[in-house]
Chain A
Amino acid sequence: MNQIKSLDDLRKLKMDLQSKIDLREKSIDPESHIRIRVAMATCGIASGAREVMDFMVSALQKRNIDGIVTQTGCMGYCYAEPTIEVTLPGRDPVVFGYVDVKKCDEIIEKYIRRGELVEGIIPQNYQTIQ
């Protein structure tokens, strides 16, 4: 173990370790972060939702975008799987269908980065009781 010999050393070490504990820090107040939920029910998994989720997690990390990616159960849009729901802070959630790795990339660059709507949005036509 390298000795920590100054405040700068300590802060640098903290930065390096940040990513490991980041997930827990963000979970304290999820509403202030970008939340992405990937439908991972049987139809989702069968259409490749796992690859989408893996790609999403590593892409956000590489591109330095702060977001929480979780998997969820069936959202009901079985005809359009894989589906993902993206909630930007302060905005209503938006569901995208027929998501593959290429589409995922587009969603990150256009919707998440710039708030620009992308093709393939599934309109929400139900409400969940809280």
Chain B
Amino acid sequence: MTRLMRLALRLYPRSWRQRYGAELEALIEDSQPGWRGAIDIARGGVAMRLRSAPAILLLGTLAGAATGSALYVWSPLVHTTTSIVEVTGPDLRMAYPELLAYPHIRGALAIRVDGSALAITTSAAEGRLARTNNERVLKEIIDTSNQYTDGNQPVSYRVTSRRDTFRKSRRVTTIVVCSTLGLLLAGSTLAARRAGPGPFSLLSR
């Protein structure tokens, strides 16, 4: 018996192996199944484990899956705005340290000071307020930059590469992925309790 088969056999619950393990080993030695046989054995082991899973695990998984799905449906989309703001003025190098003090600018993706030009890649992601925040970032840049000019030559700015995206937050997505896996596990457990391999039996046809 190959190492792969032995590993697959380990997937069965101990109590099952004590009763049927020797018989299954003999069958494997007689039939010499290939990799498909190893998959079949592993699948059987998982089904047997699910079959003997306690009811509290099943209920907990179902409850978790339901909560995760509800959370996904009700959670708002996160609106993220990303843009590059190019500010041009007489000399903006002095403004740079002060600009960094602003929370939104400090969290900017990239800041480049090149002589009298300042390019800031901003990103704001605060749900429905994202658009407003991005405009606030812009205002902060302009106001601060103007403080460092002589007033006769106000700074000019140009917004480029603006990109707006709407998506569910990563946290919610993670919860939903876990819940979906949980739901699959619960479904398999239910099926295994009722009839055996359950959804996996499709593979043996």
User: Is B truly associated with A?
Assistant: no
